[in-house]
């Protein structure tokens, strides 16, 4: 099992570099000079442009720029001003040593900005994941129990529609209904729990209800379908027939055989769900003005803050890769058949 | 695939009817599937309306989709002859929905075709040739699927400020992964089959084996994915447009018609319903067609 996990960990390395290369390539192929977008003055002086390009490392060829971004530039000295002496302009440590560079607009380390926003996104994501799995699995089991009845049909229709609804639109509808018309729930923002005890806890919760419901919808729709398929498949296995044949109570069959085996693969979808949730959070955070990573990346993209954009993509991907690894690991631990292979 | 004449004769005598090919059989099956036919009908109708009516509206009625009229702002549906009301610039909502649908459907059809084309090609190559080529393509697949879906698209969209054409290419360039993985997996098992060995023994080239023997066998699965992808693309495009990263105003799309909706939640509630409903219905129809195709093209259907 340890060897399996080692192999998976090794596989993650080229993927990680692929992510860095890809996000770098897209940014570097951006038409137009980033300097022109950064400087506010319409006609910056040539010296100012040169200084800024040097500071950002834009005067280097693309491959060097990539290496600087990845490894930092303190291991090399470059003769920048042509006086024959090498010097290191704007020291950076590089992505691999935890330095994602400086945000151009906010003039703060990218990593700090991201780390600041992670808890908000995690709060939204974890809540949506828990809710999505709870409701999704329950609906899936229900659909399997009442296979081919109207309950099954209803859940199927609901999950297909749940997948087809654009999340941002559903968010807007909820805002109109519960926020504007009924005035029951706050329509934007996030509250921290730490402020004033019980009342602020309730307030924090009220701010979460709408974004979490919308975000969990896709998970509910997918997990309910998946659970249903898995359980129905298990019910056709020989060992279930044996259990029935030996007169086992159907409740015991359901809990000891069908659910235990049927829900195992469902657990593996925790990993991929993280990706869906991260992507979903981009839209949901915009709709509900939730101050998380999704909102950060959108603001960064709008203000052409490329270091921040690249940093967010890499960090989101790292979270995703780690999540998938962990869920794979969990699957191996839970399922002895895979452990023994 | 051409069926062998002697086998066709056999079918005729045994069952007393014309032997039908796999595809014809699937077609007949779909014709009986009312829900799928209904979804196909809705999609055809929407496609017809969105592709033809702009020409008619411009030529015959001299209407201009981006014509603004400040006195007519926020007209309710039915008011002053605006069937679905007007938006914050007094533009006709119905007109904008039709034009927006044209963008959404164009993207759904073209980008899904391109996505599937790239996916099939790379999947076939990776699965069939294996080795370094497979390693390279699999690396691409793993990399692209390690980035949360919308993130990369957001940057790409922001960097290249998309027109419809650019957006189609970008969506396909980032979206081929699923199809490719599917095709690759299929090819890995298909290429070990006896008929591939037989074809090779007869001296068939790799190209011939891939195109005439393997491709037809993955095609049915790919068709199902393609309809699902088309539905997903509409959702993704509308999401991007909503965020202001997709097709830029004043060109209307179902997504960007909702971008500013947050600022008129009270005055323009009527503007928020229709774009979302249209997105939902279209996506739903694509999914339903996908479901129908899956049932129709499933070989296991015959065993039941």
> Once rounded to an integer, what is the mean pLDDT over residues B11-27?
65
User: B160–A312: do the CB atoms touch at under 8 Å?
Assistant: no
Contact B153, B170 (CB under 8 A): yes
A308 lies within 8 A of chain B by CB:
no
Does the pTM of the predicted model rise above 0.90? Answer: no
> Once rounded to an integer, what is the mean pLDDT over residues A194-202?
62
For residue A59, what are the contacts with CB-CB under 8 A and spacing of at least 6? Answer: A50, A53, A80
Q: Which candidate, B262, B174, B71, places its Cα nearest to that of A169?
A: B262
For residue A190, what are the contacts with CB-CB under 8 A and spacing of at least 6? Answer: A120, A123, A204, A207, A208, A290, A291, A292
Say which residue, A72 or A160, is predicted with more confidence.
A160
Say which residue, A41 or B252, is predicted with more confidence.
B252
Q: Which H or E element spans position B272?
A: helix B270-297
User: A170–B276: do the CB atoms touch at under 8 Å?
Assistant: yes
Highest mean pLDDT among A130-139, A151-160, A183-192, B14-23: A130-139
| Mean confidence (pLDDT) of chain B | 82
User: Can you give the pLDDT at residue B192?
Assistant: 87
A170 vs B contacts (CB less than 8 Å) = 276
User: Can you give the pLDDT at residue A55?
Assistant: 66
Contact B96, B87 (CB under 8 A): yes
> Once rounded to an integer, what is the mean pLDDT over residues A44-53?
71
Q: What percent of chain A has pLDDT over 70?
A: 84
pLDDT digits (tens, 9 = 90+) for B119-143: 999 999 999 998 899 999 999 998 8
Distance between CA B16 and CA B271 in Å, rounded? 59
Q: Where are the alpha helices (DSSP H) in B161-269?
A: 164-175, 177-190, 194-201, 206-208, 215-243
User: Can you give the pLDDT at residue A81?
Assistant: 54
User: Can you give the pLDDT at residue A156?
Assistant: 87
Place A237 in a pLDDT band, splitting at 50, 70 and 90. confident
User: B151–A22: do the CB atoms touch at under 8 Å?
Assistant: no
User: Can you give the pLDDT at residue B183?
Assistant: 92
Per-residue pLDDT at A200 exceeds 50: yes
Per-residue pLDDT at A39 exceeds 70: no
ipTM of this predicted structure: 0.82
A185 lies within 8 A of chain B by CB:
no
**Three-class DSSP labels, chain A:** CHHHHHHHHHHHHHHHHHHHHHHHHHHHCCCCCHHHHHCCCCCCCHHHHHHHHHHHCCCCCHHHHHHHHHHCCCCCCECCCCCCCCECCCCCCCHHHCCCCECCCCCCEHHHHHHHHHHHHHHHHHHHHHHHHHHHHHHHHHHHHCCCCHHHHHHHHHHHHHHHCCHHHHHHHHHHHHHHHCCCCCCCCCCCCCCCHHHHHHHHHHHHHHHHHHHHHHHHHHHHHHHHHHHHHHHCCHHHHHHHHCCCCHHHHHHHHHHHHHHHHHHHCHHHHHHHHHHHHHHHHHHCCCCCHHHHHHHHHHCCCHHHHHHHHHHHHHHHHHHHHHHHHHHHHHCHHHHHC
Distance between CA A206 and CA A209 in Å, rounded? 5
Of B239, B262, B280, the CB nearest to A164: B280
Per-residue pLDDT at B118 exceeds 90: yes
Reduce the DSSP state of residue B211 to 3 states and report it: helix
pLDDT digits (tens, 9 = 90+) for A239-271: 888 888 988 888 888 888 888 888 888 887 887
User: Can you give the pLDDT at residue B304?
Assistant: 46
User: Can you give the pLDDT at residue B81?
Assistant: 64
Residue to test with chain A: of B43, B149, B154, B176, most A Cβ within 10 A: B154
User: Can you give the pLDDT at residue B1?
Assistant: 46
A302 lies within 8 A of chain B by CB:
yes
pLDDT digits (tens, 9 = 90+) for B219-257: 888 999 999 999 999 999 888 888 888 888 778 888 888
Chain A residue at shortest CA distance from B138: A15
Per-residue pLDDT at B112 exceeds 90: yes
Highest mean pLDDT among A92-106, A254-268, B187-201: B187-201
């Amino acid at each position: 099992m340890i060897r399996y996990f080692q192999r998976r960990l090794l596989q993650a390395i080229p993927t990680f570099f692929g992510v860095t290369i890809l996000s770098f390539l897209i940014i570097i192929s951006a038409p137009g000079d980033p300097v022109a977008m950064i400087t506010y003055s319409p006609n910056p002086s040539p010296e100012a442009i040169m200084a800024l390009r040097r500071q950002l490392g834009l005067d280097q060829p693309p491959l060097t720029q990539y290496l600087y971004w990845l490894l930092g530039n303190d291991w090399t000295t470059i003769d920048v001003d042509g006086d024959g002496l090498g010097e290191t302009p704007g020291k950076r440590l590089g992505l691999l040593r935890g330095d994602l560079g400086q945000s151009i607009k906010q003039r703060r380390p990218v990593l700090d900005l991201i780390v600041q926003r992670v808890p908000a996104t995690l709060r939204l994501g974890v809540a949506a994941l828990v809710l999505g799995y709870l409701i999704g699995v329950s609906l899936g089991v229900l659909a399997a129990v009442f296979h081919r009845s109207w309950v099954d049909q209803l859940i199927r229709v609901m999950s297909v529609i749940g997948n087809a609804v654009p999340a941002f639109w559903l968010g807007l509808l909820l805002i109109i209904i519960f926020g504007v018309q009924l005035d029951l729930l706050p329509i934007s923002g996030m509250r921290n729990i730490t402020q004033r005890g019980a009342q602020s806890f309730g307030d924090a919760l009220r701010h979460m209800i709408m974004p979490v419901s919308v975000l969990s919808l896709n998970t509910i729709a997918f997990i309910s379908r998946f659970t249903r398929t898995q359980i129905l498949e298990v019910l056709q296995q020989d060992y279930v027939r044996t259990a029935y044949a030996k007169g086992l109570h159907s409740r015991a069959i359901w809990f000891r055989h069908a659910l235990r085996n049927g829900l195992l693969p469902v657990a593996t979808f925790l990993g991929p769900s993280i990706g869906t949730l991260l992507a979903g959070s981009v839209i949901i955070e915009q709709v509900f003005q939730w101050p998380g990573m999704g909102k950060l990346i959108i603001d960064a993209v709008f203000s052409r803050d490329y270091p921040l954009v690249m940093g967010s993509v890499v960090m989101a991907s790292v979270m995703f890769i780690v999540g998938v690894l962990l869920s794979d690991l969990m699957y191996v631990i839970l399922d002895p058949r895979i452990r023994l292979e | 695939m051409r069926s062998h004449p002697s086998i066709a004769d056999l079918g005729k005598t045994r069952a007393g009817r014309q032997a039908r090919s796999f595809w014809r059989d699937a077609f007949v099956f779909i014709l009986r599937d009312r829900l799928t036919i209904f979804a196909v009908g809705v999609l055809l109708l929407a496609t017809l309306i969105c592709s033809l009516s702009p020409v008619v509206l411009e030529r015959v009625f001299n209407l201009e989709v981006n014509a603004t009229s400040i006195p007519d702002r926020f007209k309710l549906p039915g008011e002053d002859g605006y069937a679905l009301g007007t938006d914050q610039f007094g533009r006709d909502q119905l007109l904008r929905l039709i034009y927006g649908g044209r963008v959404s459907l164009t993207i759904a059809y073209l980008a899904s075709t391109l996505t599937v084309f790239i996916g099939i090609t790379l999947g076939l190559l990776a699965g069939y040739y294996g080795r370094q080529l497979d390693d390279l393509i699999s690396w691409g697949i793993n990399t692209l699927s390690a980035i949360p879906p919308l993130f990369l698209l957001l940057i790409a969209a922001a960097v290249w400020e998309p027109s419809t054409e650019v957006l189609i290419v970008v969506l396909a360039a980032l979206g081929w992964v699923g199809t490719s993985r599917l095709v690759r997996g299929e090819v890995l098992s298909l290429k070990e089959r006896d008929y591939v060995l037989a074809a090779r023994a007869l001296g068939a080239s790799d190209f011939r084996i891939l195109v005439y023997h393997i491709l037809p066998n993955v095609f049915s699965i790919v068709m199902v994915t393609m309809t699902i992808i088309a539905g997903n693309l509409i959702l993704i495009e509308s999401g991007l447009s909503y965020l202001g990263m997709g097709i830029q105003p004043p060109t209307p799309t179902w997504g960007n018609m909702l971008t500013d909706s947050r600022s008129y939640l009270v005055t323009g509630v009527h503007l928020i319903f229709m774009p979302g409903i249209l997105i939902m219905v279209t996506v739903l129809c694509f999914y339903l067609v996908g479901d129908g195709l899956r049932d129709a093209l499933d070989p296991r259907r015959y065993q039941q």
